[in-house]
A and B are shown apart, each in its own frame.
Chain A
Amino acid sequence: MTQALHTPPPTAPAPAEAHDLAALAARHGLSVSGARPSLPEYVRQLVARRHFIGAFATAKLTAQYSQAKLGQVWQVLTPLLNAAVYYFIFGKLLGTSRGIPDYIPFLVTGVFVWTFTQSSIMAGTRAISGNLGLVRALHFPRAALPISFALQQLQQLLFSMAALFVILLCFGIPITASWVLVLPALFLQFTFNAGVAMVMARMGAKTPDIAQLMPFVLRTWMYASGVMFSITAMMAKHKDMPSWVSTALQCNPGAIYIDLMRFALMDSFHANQLPPHVWAIATGWALLAGVGGFIYFWKAEETYGRG
């Protein structure tokens, strides 16, 4: 049953022969190994791996602090310390808090929500290039990786939100019906983050240098998104600035999701501080990034792991 086949001379096989092999493969119903599945098939495979996505995210999250003495307490402690540092610098030293009621809840919400976007994108950039071992060892739709990293950051945010609720209550912010809006806001932001993470994952897989560049891009984006200051308050101070600058800043996805969260949680943050059609814009960003990012990522599916 085995053919004694010695090394063929290192010349290209005749085209006819190559054709024969392809035909033979087709006759026996063999498929090309590692070929990119169709988009619906890809979605189906991804849904089949949902448990892996969840387990991988949770595993990464728990593994993070497993060597620390305080263990999982750091999940809450880290964002709190972050918020404390920002409060000290921006609230006390630079005085951006002027004109903003409930500055601490305002700041902490901004920091937590922004951190979710920022770390999802950073983790997404390294999702493929930092996990080549996994990509080269096992079969799964590669989109599972950036989505899983975004999910890990969402779980991290939920820990932060628990701390945030305590802070809000400490500052006497009443629990209102609008707190329910947290859920759709988080859902839209997660979709947006996962989408951008997928775009960055493909770019980072091809050019790993992007991971070095991203912190600078993200920091610039953070300062443009009103994390530690109010865009409306700043615009009120600079009357000479054209109004489209303010609209552009307010409509950027970074600011949109932060302000939606503030609007949902804080009674002192009013609807007039939000841009018009805010939910439509938030949904639009989520759809654009989520669907676009997914298709963009899928287009290069068969190339991940080359290197």
Chain B
Amino acid sequence: MAEPVNTDIPTVIADAVDIVYRVNGTGAGRGSATAALNRIVRRRKSEQAAGVRKVHAVKKVSFMAYRGEAIGLIGTNGSGKSTLLKAVAGLLPVENGHIYTDGQPSLLGVNAALMNDLTGERNVYLGGLAMGMSREQVKERYQEIVEFSGINEKGDFITLPMRTYSSGMAARLRFSIAAAKDHDVLLIDEALATGDRSFQKRSEARIRELRKHAGTVFLVSHNNKSIRDTCERVLWLERGELRMDGPTDDVLKEYEAFTGEKPKS
């Protein structure tokens, strides 16, 4: 580990973090009944024999993040970026190692709390409450959220159930709800790519604003341009291992060479 000589204040410390997913019912014979019985009978044996497959998603990753930093997370699909982000947020338990954080990092996203059968209006309330806002706070921000999402630009859509929205509209509303709250440590998982061009511009501006209030920002993206625009430091994960950690330009150059992609504009 490079010596942490910075006088900066660390906000996130990951110390040799391992994350393992366990998937049931993947042993020999997969879902067949005899295989399942076999699993029960051999219960006491190793998890491997019991048909539980372990997926080692993140392996011994260590890094430190400081206040005021914006850090990009890159890597090919399935390299463990989102998993690492969830662990930093404290949503996914780590197998080994520790993650220390300043305050409560939050993942930008409320998708899971929203219900398609409810109106946009009720979803704004539900999402806000799910993020830990109080009823009054949601009421205060309600108009702002709806205006930002632009849902009502084409008529009174906010009072219709979310299942009637186009996928773009739903994504815009979700982002608007999620971005309504200020966070200490903000984790963004490819949220920039939603909506049409004008909405993308608005959301980029909103993210910059959130960054000003947030101590530290992590951004997962496959869009190297948005990483270049927002982050000064990049962590490159590959097969769950931290392959590189350094200034954006250096890491992206290596990464682009690795993926054989020409630098985008």
Contact = CB atoms under 8 A, between A and B. Distances in A.
Contacts, number: 178
B243 interface: yes
A306 B2 contact: no
Contacts of A172: none
Interface stretch (A1-9, A77-85, A186-194): A1-9
B133 to A, nearest CB: 9
A29 B125 CA distance: 33
Interface string A8-42: 10101100011001101100111111110000000
B102 A28 contact: yes
Contact of B91 (A21, A29, A305): A305
A242 interface: no
Interface in B104-132: 104-107, 109-113, 115, 117-118, 122, 125-126, 129-132
B23 to A, nearest CB: 8
What is the size category of the interface that chain A forms with chain B? 35 or more
A66 B161 contact: yes
A305 B22 CA distance: 11
A114 B134 CA distance: 34
Interface residues of B, number: 68
A63 B126 CA distance: 13
Contacts of B233: 2
Nearest to A13: B16
B50 interface: no
A30 B69 contact: no
B63 A5 contact: yes
A63 B112 contact: no
Contacts of B16: 12-13, 18
Given A21-B15, A63-B118, A306-B22, A137 B113 contact: yes
A56 B130 contact: yes
5 contacts: A1-B69, A18-B15, A24-B10, A33-B89, A139-B90
Question: Top 4 A-B pairs ranked by shortest CB distance?
Answer: A34-B90, A25-B100, A3-B2, A30-B100
Interface of B: 1-2, 4, 6, 8-13, 15-16, 21-24, 59-60, 62-63, 66, 69, 86-94, 98-102, 104-107, 109-113, 115, 117-118, 122, 125-126, 129-132, 134-135, 161, 232-233, 241-247, 250
Given A2-B247, A56-B126, A306-B93, 4 more contacts: A4-B246, A7-B241, A30-B11, A55-B125
